[in-house]
């Protein structure tokens, strides 16, 4: 049991109508691993991530979380199942009508049925962990983008997820705010959280990722340790993508 | 006990009432064109006055607008229709009705325009003035066109309200659509003429209602 | 007609003290009628509109079609037409309803139609990410609707809701056509009996007393809710 990966995707397919967006995706994320997904725009990274908590319905294939297949899970159990994955969006999506701490408490109370006192204690712990305990009573609109994203991470962590899914968590942020969010992710990794991250932060991937997955056109083209993918890519498509990205980074 | 079809959808009675209702519809349309036409213009003038930086102008106009918004249109109508003759002013029923509705609706149109004028960024008027346009040219060519475009759905929505509003004229016996239908009802002891009138209002207004809904959703997105 | 005499006559006709004294008690009780009718129309109309918008958000056609039809028809028809049909037509089918009941049903239904549209516009304007954030944290559709989507939709709709509620509450004056003893009915009959325009002035004053504070409140709410999220 300890050897089963925390997240395992096998033969995942996803079609929107007749458009094939994902084709025979196979991917494993071991316990405590940080796996990075990179690839050009439209390659299906977000779609794959969103299949992992069934915000998108997979067309076929299986996704195991902690050994349990979530694809054939009946709709009635979906809400409980989604508690096992914490999702962080590019656009934060904090609830603008609630204070920061209430944002972190809401799903704890409604979905986990925690009582208010427990939920608040847990929320404050999580806010403390992302360095924002002092902003607990602020409204989301009063926070910077980086702070909002850290609250969104706290909101997901508060539900004790087994896997954290990040969809471009830093690409809506000003460059000087990116670091604070990456630091939180690094801390999480140190604490043994399992994470699947879609991001263009190549430097961060090099430094913190256990494995890097390159996707293009709805398939996993290659994967391996960051040194291998960045230092010695095996496929032309990977090389082309990496040189485009590094050119771009170099130009800045 | 007569059935629903007999009482509400009686085709014979509808056919009898049809010429009467057509006359009423004509009156309704005449009333609408006067009230909507003058209301659109009057409302814009009121809105320009209400957003003026000169307080001696904007405050009384705002007060007038709020006064008109606080009075039910029917009260305004009865006040003008049966009150004004006491003051020794003679008016034909059509004019009295038009005046009352105009007072009411200019205020509502003014509110819509005002929101529109305020939605145009200050930079727009500054840019216009900076390029040498006069104040009137700035308003006419830059500010008002943008303001109107921003509130087109609300202008349309208010226009629907005006058409519905004209049905109140039946209370003071102006022979518009609803008045004619109600006359036909009281003569025939049958509600079919009212249903027919309702159908005419629906044909007239339903496309506009749909349009407003579509529009508002698009703006919201 | 010289000016002072004209002015004096104007005051006598529109502000006759004796007539004010005579009809004030009637008018005050009519104001109470207008107020409570307005209150139950607003409460019912907004509540029904909210429920309809929630049902529509389920996006099943056999709920959506009747709801959209209801909202469209009641927004397109002049309320007075409906009032006349209900009041004069239904007795022909053996359904007797009192004037106040007809007024309440029609105006509450019209307000519900407008409120449904306002709430629905708010719900559709909500960024999709808000729904996804709710569902991704394990909340059900209903929980996300109630705790995440509706509060924001309501907030977006507050200015329109207030304006629409006001406009429709003012239509209680239509009750005068079907014998509801509200402000306009009472003052119109007083005017007919006394042959003076003063009761009409009193009616206008009564409506201003009720609705002017509401209009000012509406302005304040509009400013408060316009740009802040
Ligand atoms: N709801 C949808 N309906 C139809 N097509 C969709 C839908 N969502 C995504 N797609 C398509 O699926 C493909 C993959 O989209 P996806 O968002 O997963 O890409 P991505 O790799 O995340 O790209 P980016 O880097 O731009 O975020 C795209 O071609 C997109 O147009
Ligand atoms: Mg994406």
Q: Please give the pLDDT value at position A252.
A: 37
Domain ranges of chain C: 20-120+152-224
Ligand 1 centre distance from Cα of residue A46 (Å) = 7
Average pLDDT over residues B172-195: 91
Ligand 1 centre distance from Cα of residue A44 (Å) = 6
The residue whose CA is least distant from atom 17 of ligand 1 is A46
CB-count exposure of residue C92 (10 Å: 0-12, 13-18, 19+) = middle
Per-residue model confidence as pLDDT tens digits over A120-160: 999 999 999 999 999 999 999 999 999 999 999 999 999 99
Q: Parallel, antiparallel, or unpaired for β A85-88 and A163-167? A: parallel
What are the structural domains of chain B?
Answer: 2-220 (1.10.3720.10)
Per-residue model confidence as pLDDT tens digits over A208-233: 899 999 999 999 999 999 999 998 88
Instruction: List, as ranges, residues 103-162 from C with C-beta within 8 Å of B.
Output: 117, 121-122, 124-125
CA separation (Å) from C208 to A227, C184, C212?
78, 12, 5
CB–CB of B7 and C93 under 8 A?
yes
Q: How many residues does chain A have?
A: 252
Q: Give the whole-number percent of chain C exceeding pLDDT 70.
A: 96
Nearest to C89 among B7, B72, B83 (CB): B7
Q: Give the whole-number percent of chain A exceeding pLDDT 90.
A: 76
The H or E element that residue C211 is part of is helix C198-226
The residue whose CA is least distant from atom 14 of ligand 1 is A44
Nearest to B70 among C173, C201, C215 (CB): C215
Per-residue model confidence as pLDDT tens digits over B9-52: 888 989 999 999 999 999 999 999 999 999 999 999 999 999 98
**Mutation to probe ligand 1, out of A25, A43, A168, A220 (largest number of atoms < 8 A from CB):** A43
Q: Please give the pLDDT value at position C229.
A: 38
The residue whose CA is least distant from atom 12 of ligand 1 is A21
> CA–CA separation, B191 vs A133, rounded Å?
68
Chains C and B touch (3+ CB pairs under 8 A): yes
Average pLDDT over residues B144-161: 92
Give the rounded distance of the alpha carbon of B187 from its chain centre.
30
Q: Where are the alpha helices (DSSP H) in B120-191?
A: 122-130, 135-137, 144-150, 152-165, 177-188
CB–CB of B82 and C172 under 8 A?
no
Q: Please give the pLDDT value at position A59.
A: 94
> CA–CA separation, A45 vs A51, rounded Å?
10
Q: Where residue C19 falls among pLDDT bands split at 50, 70, 90?
A: confident
The DSSP 8-state label assigned to residue C15 in this structure reads: -
CB atoms within 10 A of CB A67: 10
Q: Which of A152-156, B207-211, C88-92 has the weakest average pLDDT?
A: C88-92
For residue A162, the chain C residues in CB contact (below 8 A) are none
Q: Please give the pLDDT value at position A155.
A: 95
Q: Which long-range contacts (CB under 8 A, 24 or more apart) does C24-28 make?
A: C24/C202, C26/C186, C26/C190, C27/C183, C27/C186, C27/C187, C27/C190, C27/C199, C27/C202, C27/C203, C27/C206
Q: Where residue B217 falls among pLDDT bands split at 50, 70, 90?
A: low
Q: Please give the pLDDT value at position B23.
A: 95
> CA–CA separation, C157 vs C162, rounded Å?
9
Ligand 2 centre distance from Cα of residue A45 (Å) = 6
Q: Please give the pLDDT value at position B137.
A: 85
Q: Please give the pLDDT value at position A35.
A: 95
Chains A and B touch (3+ CB pairs under 8 A): no
CB–CB of A97 and C151 under 8 A?
yes
Nearest to C137 among A81, A96, A159 (CB): A159
Residue A200 — φ and ψ, nearest 5°?
Answer: -105, 10
C207 lies within 8 A of chain B by CB: yes
Place of tokens 């204070």: A99
Q: Please give the pLDDT value at position A250.
A: 43
Q: Please give the pLDDT value at position C109.
A: 98
Q: Which of A210-219, B186-195, C194-203 has the weakest average pLDDT?
A: C194-203
Q: Which fold has domain C20-120+152-224?
A: MetI-like fold (1.10.3720)
Place of tokens 């005419």: B200
Nearest to A111 among C139, C151, C152 (CB): C139
Per 3-state DSSP, what percentage of chain C is helix, strand, and coil (rounded to 5)?
85, 0, 15
Between C169 and A248, the more confident residue is C169
Ligand 1 centre distance from Cα of residue A41 (Å) = 8
Per-residue model confidence as pLDDT tens digits over A26-52: 999 999 999 999 999 999 999 999 999
For residue B119, the chain C residues in CB contact (below 8 A) are none
Residue C5: pLDDT above 70?
no
Taking CA atoms, what residue in B is nearest to C174?
A: B74
Residues within 6 Å of ligand 1 by CB: A 16, 19, 21, 39, 41-47
Q: Please give the pLDDT value at position C131.
A: 94
Ligand 1 centre distance from Cα of residue C108 (Å) = 45
Average pLDDT over residues A102-125: 94
Query: Which ligand 1 atom sits nearest the alpha carbon of residue A48?
Result: 18
Mean pLDDT of all residues in chain B? 89
Ligand 1 centre distance from Cα of residue A20 (Å) = 10
ipTM score: 0.90
Residue C29: pLDDT above 60?
yes
Select from C127, C136, C229 the residue whose CB has the most chain A CBs within 10 Å, as the one to mutate to test that interface. Answer: C136
> CA–CA separation, B121 vs B117, rounded Å?
9
> CA–CA separation, B162 vs B154, rounded Å?
12
Shortest-distance ligand to the CA of residue A50: 1
């Amino acid at each position: 049991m300890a050897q089963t990966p925390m997240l395992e995707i096998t033969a995942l397919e996803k079609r929107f109508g007749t458009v094939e967006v994902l084709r025979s995706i196979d991917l494993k994320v071991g316990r405590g691993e940080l796996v990075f997904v990179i690839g050009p725009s439209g390659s299906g990274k977000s779609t794959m991530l969103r299949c992992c908590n069934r915000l998108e319905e997979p067309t076929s294939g299986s996704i195991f979380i902690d050994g349990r297949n979530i694809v054939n899970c009946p709709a009635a159990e979906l809400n409980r199942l989604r508690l096992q994955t914490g999702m962080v969006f590019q656009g934060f999506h904090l609830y603008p009508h609630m204070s920061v701490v209430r944002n972190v408490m809401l799903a704890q109370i409604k979905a986990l049925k925690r009582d208010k006192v427990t939920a608040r204690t847990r929320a404050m712990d999580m806010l403390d962990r992302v360095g924002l305990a002092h902003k607990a009573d602020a409204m989301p609109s009063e926070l910077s983008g980086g702070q909002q994203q850290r609250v969104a991470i706290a909101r997901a962590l508060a539900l004790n997820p087994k896997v954290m899914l990040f969809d471009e968590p830093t690409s809506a942020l000003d460059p000087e705010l990116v670091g604070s969010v990456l630091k939180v992710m690094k801390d999480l990794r140190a604490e043994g959280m399992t994470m699947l991250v879609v991001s263009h932060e190549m430097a961060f991937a090099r430094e913190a990722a256990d494995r890097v997955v390159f996707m293009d056109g709805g398939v996993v083209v290659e994967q391996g340790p960051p040194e291998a993918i960045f230092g010695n890519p095996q496929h032309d498509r990977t090389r082309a993508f990496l040189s485009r990205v590094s050119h771009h980074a170099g130009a800045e | 006990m007569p059935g629903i079809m007999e009482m509400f959808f009686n085709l014979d009675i509808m056919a009898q009432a049809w010429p009467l209702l057509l006359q009423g519809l004509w009156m309704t349309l005449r009333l609408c064109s006067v009230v909507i036409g003058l209301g659109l213009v009057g409302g814009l003038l009121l809105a320009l006055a209400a957003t003026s930086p000169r307080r001696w102008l904007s405050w009384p106009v705002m007060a007038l607008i709020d006064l008109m918004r606080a009075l039910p249109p029917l009260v305004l109508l009865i006040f003008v229709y049966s009150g004004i003759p006491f003051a020794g002013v003679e008016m034909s029923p059509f004019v009295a009705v038009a005046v009352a509705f105009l007072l009411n609706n200019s205020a509502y149109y003014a509110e819509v325009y005002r929101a529109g004028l305020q939605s145009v960024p200050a930079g727009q008027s500054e840019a216009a003035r900076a390029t040498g346009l006069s104040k009137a040219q700035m308003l006419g060519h830059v500010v008002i066109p943008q303001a109107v475009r921003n509130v087109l759905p609300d202008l349309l929505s208010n226009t629907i309200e005006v058409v519905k509003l004209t049905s109140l004229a039946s209370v003071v016996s102006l022979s518009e659509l609803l008045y004619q239908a109600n006359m036909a009802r009281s003569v025939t002891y049958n509600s079919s003429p009212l249903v027919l009138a309702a159908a005419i209002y629906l044909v007239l207004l339903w496309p506009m209602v749909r349009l407003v809904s579509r529009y508002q959703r698009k703006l919201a997105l | 007609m010289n000016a002072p005499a004209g002015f004096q006559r104007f005051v006598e006709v529109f502000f006759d003290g004796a007539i004010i004294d005579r009809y004030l008690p009637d008018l005050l009780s009519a104001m109470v009628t207008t107020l409570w009718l307005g209150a139950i129309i607003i409460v019912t109309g907004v509540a029904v509109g909210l429920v309809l918008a929630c049902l529509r958000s389920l996006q099943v056609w056999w709920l959506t079609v009747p709801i959209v039809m209801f909202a469209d028809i009641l927004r397109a028809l002049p309320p007075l037409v409906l009032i006349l049909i209900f009041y004069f037509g239904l007795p022909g089918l053996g359904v007797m309803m009192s004037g106040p009941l007809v007024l309440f049903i029609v105006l509450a239904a019209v307000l519900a139609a407008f409120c449904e549209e306002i709430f629905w516009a708010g719900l559709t304007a909500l960024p999709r990410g808000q729904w996804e954030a709710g569902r991704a944290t394990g909340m059900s559709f209903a929980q996300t609707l109630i705790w995440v989507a509706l509060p924001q939709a309501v907030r977006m709709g507050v200015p329109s809701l207030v304006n629409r509620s006001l406009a429709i509450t003012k239509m209680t004056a239509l009750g005068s056509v079907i014998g509801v003893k509200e402000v306009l009915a009472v003052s119109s009959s007083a005017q007919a009996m006394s042959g003076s325009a003063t009761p009409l002035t009193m009616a206008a004053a009564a409506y201003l007393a009720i609705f002017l504070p509401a209009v000012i409140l509406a302005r304040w709410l509009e400013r408060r809710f316009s740009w802040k999220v």
